[in-house]
Structure 1
Amino acid sequence: MREVCHTVSMRAAQLCAAGLAAVVEKMRENRGLDKLSITVGVDGTLYKLHPNFSHCLQRTLRDLAPNCTVSFMPSEDGSGKGAALVAAVACRISGLGQ
Structure 2
Amino acid sequence: MREVCHTVSVRAAQLCAAGLAAVVEKMRENRGLDRLSVTVGVDGTLYKLHPHFSRCVQRTLRDLAPNCTVKFMPSEDGSGKGAALVAAVACRTTGPGQ
The answer to whether 1:48 aligns with 2:62 is no
2:65 maps to a residue whose letter is A
CA contact (8 A) 1:39 1:96 kept: no
CA contact (8 A) 1:74 1:84 kept: yes
1:4 maps to a residue whose letter is V
SS of equivalent to 1:60: helix
Aligned to 1:61: 61
Task: State the 4+ residue runs in structure 1 displaced beyond 2 angstroms.
Answer: none
Gaps of 5+ in 2: none
Q: Distance in 2 between matches of 1:51 and 1:90?
A: 27
Fraction of identical pairs, as percent: 75
Quote the RMSD (CA, aligned, Å).
0.9
Aligned to 2:93: 94
TM-score for both structures, normalised by structure 2: 0.95
Gaps of 5+ in 1: none
Q: How many residue pairs align between the two structures? A: 97
